[in-house]
Amino acid sequence: MHILILGGDGYLGWPTAMYFSRQGHQVTVVDNYLRRNACTELDVGMLYTVPSLQQRARLWHEKTGREIKVVIGDLSDPEVMRSLFDGRVTYDRAVDPSFTGIPETVIHYAEQPSAPYSLLNHKAANLTVSNNLLVTNNLMFALKDFARDTHVVHIGTMGEYGTPNIDIEEGWLEVEHKGRKDTFLFPRQASSLYHTTKIMDTDLMWFAVRTWGLRITDLMQGPVYGLETNETEGDERLYPIFNYDEIFGTIVNRFITQAVVGYPLTVYGRGGQTRGYLNINDTLQCVDKSVETPAKSGELRIFNQIMETFSVMELAEMTRRVGAKLGYDVTIEHLENPRKEAEEHYYNPTYQGLTGIGVEPHYLTDEVMEGMFRVVDRYSDNIRKEVIFRGVKWGA
């Protein structure tokens, strides 16, 4: 299969590229280094230096003999997107002369993914809105014009649903109103501008599915943790980008880094905020199973991509417990919450769809967290305490 990964340099994109390449698929990755450039601009360093996408593809080739094709380009430019489908980007036919180049699957990760970034200021907000919506819309039109049978796997976010006072279904809700019934997208109410763009993505994709018969799987993912996957095989040059700052770091990755350098864990408010989480290896599994069993033509299939739920305080307590076992003195600090969010709320999402198509969950056990502590500890000299927290305020 030819698999095109949009956003292939990112935290999830590069591990996904190696995963599918190792299975023998033809993999093309596209990225414009938006994430890396934003980190440089904001001066929020990563835990370790990550080679460029081209260097990583070369390393991968040296280790495995497999090719990952790299395209550097801005997918919010429609011509860059269209060139991937209309024959302008030439794909290597050496492996299989019948290879047409048209990807059978597109995995769409190419977005600005940070909620605090989207609320930094009007410039960052505009970048988030225009980048995320243009990339998705450009993809929809490229598929309509050149590749209607290609299956898209898009990563949405559980944050699209917010924290409603009713159970969260997988994407859709049957509504009975004045004696009549219909099925609609589950009501969405995001708490950040970034999450709002993901709601709009879903709307753009639902329009394209209804109108042009496209086939799309939208995975409502929770925050991901971890950095080692089967393909890295301990080779740190193949590790994904790993941020530990408030803007781009995800919570488990941040807490472990804070614990390693003796920075009090930054719990916002009371810490009752409950979300669904998953291991980076399960992102790969979920995407893989979605690719293996694609959505049908004219179907927008939605799965909730989480494996278990935790409150922020539960994660902080776990980090403290595991850290203590390893000899770290971990403290917890309740900071004034910079976000606009409920600190105690009902949360009961459904998430059986992905296990139903064969995903076998990895859970966040003490052992898994210990493994992450060990890796982060190797880079403790690189950790800059001053970039850990800056308090981007939602309501300011």
Interface residue list for ligand NAD (CB under 6 A): 7, 9-13, 30-35, 74-76, 109-113, 131, 135, 155, 157, 221, 223-224, 241, 250
What is the token pair recorded at 197?
């763009």
CB of 263 to ligand NAD, least distance (A): 21
> Shortest Cβ distance from residue 76 to ligand NAD (Å)?
4
Residue whose CB is less far from ligand NAD, 10 or 116: 10
Beta carbon nearer to ligand NAD, 112 or 281: 112
Residue 226's Cβ-side half-sphere holds a number of Cα atoms within 13 Å equal to 21
Catalytic residue among 91, 117, 194, 277: 194
Minimum CB distance to ligand NAD, residue 73 (Å)? 7
CA angle 348, 107, 287 (to 5 degrees): 45
**Among residues 135 and 369, whose Cβ is nearest to ligand NAD?**
135
Annotated active-site residue 157? The verdict is yes
Is 385 annotated as catalytic? no
Nearest residue to the partner ligand NAD, using Cβ: 10
Q: How far is the CB of 324 from ligand NAD (least distance, A)?
A: 26
Closest CA to 113 of 255, 268, 9: 9
Helix, strand, or coil (residue 206): helix
Question: Among 390, 219, 195, which residue's Cα sits nearest to residue 288?
Answer: 219
Residue among 155 and 383 whose Cβ is closer to ligand NAD: 155
Give the ranges where the chain is alpha helix by DSSP (H). 13-22, 34-42, 53-64, 78-83, 115-118, 122-146, 193-212, 251-260, 280-292, 312-325, 353-356, 366-378
308 three-state secondary structure: strand
Alpha carbons 186 and 106: distance in angstroms, whole number: 25
Catalytic residues: 157, 194, 198
